[in-house]
Structure 1
C-alpha cells in the first residue's frame, strides 16, 4: 500500500535520527526519484534542516554526522544482502543518501553539510568582492604563427580536412596545410576540441592541448599540459598516444583523464577500455576501468578510485570525496582565476559536490561549514583567517 505524505515525512525524520532500516531508506529514494521537488516532502526537508530551533540543531548535527561518516553508514544500511542493484550502485558511487535528498531541495550546490555553532547558525563568509565562476573560453595558436581567440558562446571546435570549425558549423580558419594546433584554456576557462579522427577532448582550466590538424602515419600523437578528458575514437591500425610530463598513454579506443599540472603528481584515470602508461621510457603499466596511476617524483602508485571524483569537472561539478583542503584549493584557483594559500593550510579533508557555476562566496561558505576553517575573499585572493 502506498504511503501517505505524512508517513513519508515521518520516515525521513526517522532517517535523520538514524532509525530508518534499509527497506525504508530505499523507499525514500524511490519516492524522491518519482516525485522530485514537487512534493511536500521537500518542504519537510527544508524545515528540518534550515530552521533554527533546538530540534533542528539536533537534526543538523545528525545530518552532518551521517555525511561525514558516509562510507561506514551506507555500508551498513545500503549494502545489505537483500538490496537491489540500483541501491548497490549508489553505494559503489559513494553517493550519500543525505546528499541525494538535499540535491532535490533545489539548493545552489549539490552538497550541504549543516553544522551549527552554539546558536545554531553558521558565520557569514567575509567577502570584499565576490568572484564569478569560469566560462567556456580558449585561444588557438597554429604552428604557422597565426592565433585566434575562440568564441566563448560556442561549445567547442572541431577539425575536418585541415580546417577548424565551431560546433555550430561556422569556420574558424580557412583550409590550411598540415599544421600543428595548440588550444589553451586559461585559468577561469574550459573548452572542447574534436580531433580530425573523431576523438573528443575536454580541457579543464589552465590546460593546453597540442595536436595535428590531420593524423598521418601509423600513430595519432597529441600532447597535453594540465588536465584533459579524452574520449578516443577506436582505430586498431593507429594507436592514440598522449604525451604529458614525462609519460605516454597509449590507447586504441577508450575514455580516460590525464592530470598533469606543474608541481602536482601526474594522474591517469581510466573510465572505460584499457590503456598502457609508459613513464620515462620505463616498463608499461596497464590500467583497467576504475584504476588510476599516480606518478610523483619517480614514485608510482596504482590505485582503485571513484571515477566520478576525477571526471566531475567535465560535467560541471567539483566532486570532493575525502580530499585534503590543500588539494581542493588549487582546483578553485584555476577555475576562479584567483590566488589561494600555498602554506599554512590546515590538514582537514572535504567531502562534497558543488556545481561549478556557483559563485566563489557560496563555495567558500561550503568549505567553512565542512572544515571549520574560516576564509576571507579579498578581490581575487582567498585568504585563511587566523583565529
Structure 2
C-alpha cells in the first residue's frame, strides 16, 4: 500500500490540473484525519494560488518518470540505513521517494509561477533587459461564505446566499438583490483588485464604483434602512446614487466620507495620508479625531488621524487613472514610481541619491513599462534598469 504522503503527491497534481473529484476530496479528508500534518503540507502547496487554467502544465508533469528516476538514483537505494528488516527499508525508500516528489511539486510550482507571468515580454525598442505589459481589468471577489471567485471581463452569473444573483457583463460586476431581505445587510462581499489591475462595479443601491490597483472594497449584499456603508483600502472613484434619507458612507483607516449623492475620488492607501477630491455634490469628511470638514466641488482634502489640509484640486489629475491615463504635475520621482509600481506590479529600487527634480505630463496607462519610463526619464533626470519585475532608478549624473 502506498505511503499516504506518496498519495498526497498524486492528489496535488490532480488539484493543479483541475481533475480532483468529489471522491478524491473525501479520501483526502480521511488522510488528513489520520495524519493532520499532511493537511499542513496540502495547504502549503495549494495556497500558492495556481488555478485550473494551469491544467496543461500540470497534466504534462510526468510523475511516473520522476518516480522511476528517483528510485534508480543511487541515494534512493536501500543503503540509506543498514537493517535486517526489508519492510522497514522499503518503507524508508517510499517515504524518501514521496518527499522527493514533493520537492518536484515545489520546484514545478516555482518554475511555473515564474514562467507563466505573461506581463514580462521582450523589449523590442528601448534596449532594456525586458519589458512589462500594463495592467488590465481583473479582481477577486470574496463571497459571504468565504469562497473566492476570479473576475475578468467575461460574462458570467454568480449565485450568493438567499438566491441573490451577481452578474458580470461588459467587464462590470453588478448586483441584483432583493432588498426586502433584511438578513442581507449582515452578509458581506469584498472586491480585491491586485497590483496591475482595476475593476468596475455597481453596488446594490446603484452606486457606480471604479476600483484602482492594489485596493480592496468591502460592502453588504444589501444596505440597511438608515445608512449605506462601505469600507475602502486603496483608491476608488465613486458615483453615488442619490438617496435623500439614506446617506452613503465610505470608511477608511483615516476617517469617514459621508455623502448623499455625488462623485468623488478617494485615495486611502495605508502607507500614506488619505485624500479625497470632490467632483460634484457635497461631502462631509470626519477623521479619526472626530474633526469634521464640509468639502465643496473642486476641493481636495488630505487627511490622517490628526490633521486635515484643504486645497484647490486639479480634478483632471486626481481622476486621470479612472479615465485611463497617468497625470503628473510637479511630481517627485518617488510619487511617480509609486503609481507605476501599482499599475505594472513592479518593485522599485533607488540607487544612489534620489533625484529632487520633478516631472509633469500625461501618459496612457495602455503603454508598456519601457515606454512609460522612456517618457519620464526625458524630463525627470533619471535612468532606469528593468530586470524582470524590478526597476532600479538612478540619477543620470
For Structure 1 versus Structure 2, the TM-score category normalised by the shorter chain is 0.5 to 0.7
1:313 aligns with 2:315: no
Q: Relative to structure 1, is the Cα distance of residues 307 and 363 closer, same or farther in structure 2, using a 3 angstrom cutoff? A: same
TM-score (norm: length of structure 2): 0.62
> Which has a greater percent of helix?
2
**Quick check: 153-162 or 323-332, which moved more?**
153-162
How far did 1:158 drift?
12
Q: Which of 1 and 2 has higher RCO (CA within 8 Å, sep 6+)?
A: 1
Q: Distance in 2 between matches of 1:337 and 1:216?
A: 37
Q: Distance in 2 between matches of 1:359 and 1:312?
A: 17
Given that 1:189 and 1:204 are in contact with CA atoms closer than 8 Å, whether structure 2 keeps it comes out as yes
Given that 1:136 and 1:153 are in contact with CA atoms closer than 8 Å, whether structure 2 keeps it comes out as no
Task: Give the paired residue count.
Answer: 264
Who is 2:204 aligned against? 196
1:349 aligns with 2:358: yes
Secondary structure of 1:127's partner? Answer: coil
For residues 130-183 of structure 1, give each alpha carbon's deviation from its aligned partner in whole angstroms, at most 9, with x where no partner exists: 000000000000231111001244699999983211125999999896221000
Given that 2:173 and 2:201 are in contact with CA atoms closer than 8 Å, whether structure 1 keeps it comes out as no
Who is 2:379 aligned against? 370
Given candidates 225, 235, 260, the residue that maps to 2:233 is 225
Who is 2:370 aligned against? 361
Given candidates 275, 280, 283, the residue that maps to 1:272 is 280
Q: Relative to structure 1, is the Cα distance of residues 170 and 375 closer, same or farther in structure 2, using a 3 angstrom cutoff? A: closer
Within a 5 Å distance, the mapping from 1:119-268 to structure 2 comes to 125-153=126-154, 162-168=164-170, 178=184, 179-268=187-276
Query: Alignment RMSD, CA only?
Result: 2.9
How far did 1:316 drift?
0.5
Given that 1:158 and 1:195 are in contact with CA atoms closer than 8 Å, whether structure 2 keeps it comes out as no
Given that 2:135 and 2:343 are in contact with CA atoms closer than 8 Å, whether structure 1 keeps it comes out as yes
Q: Relative to structure 1, is the Cα distance of residues 196 and 173 closer, same or farther in structure 2, using a 3 angstrom cutoff? A: closer
- Mind listing any 5+ residue stretches in structure 1 that lack a counterpart? 1-123
Q: Relative to structure 1, is the Cα distance of residues 334 and 171 closer, same or farther in structure 2, using a 3 angstrom cutoff? A: closer
Given that 2:278 and 2:297 are in contact with CA atoms closer than 8 Å, whether structure 1 keeps it comes out as yes
Who is 2:300 aligned against? 292
Q: Distance in 2 between matches of 1:156 and 1:128?
A: 42
Q: Relative to structure 1, is the Cα distance of residues 315 and 155 closer, same or farther in structure 2, using a 3 angstrom cutoff? A: farther
Within a 5 Å distance, the mapping from 1:104-115 to structure 2 comes to none
Q: Which has the larger radius of gyration?
A: 2
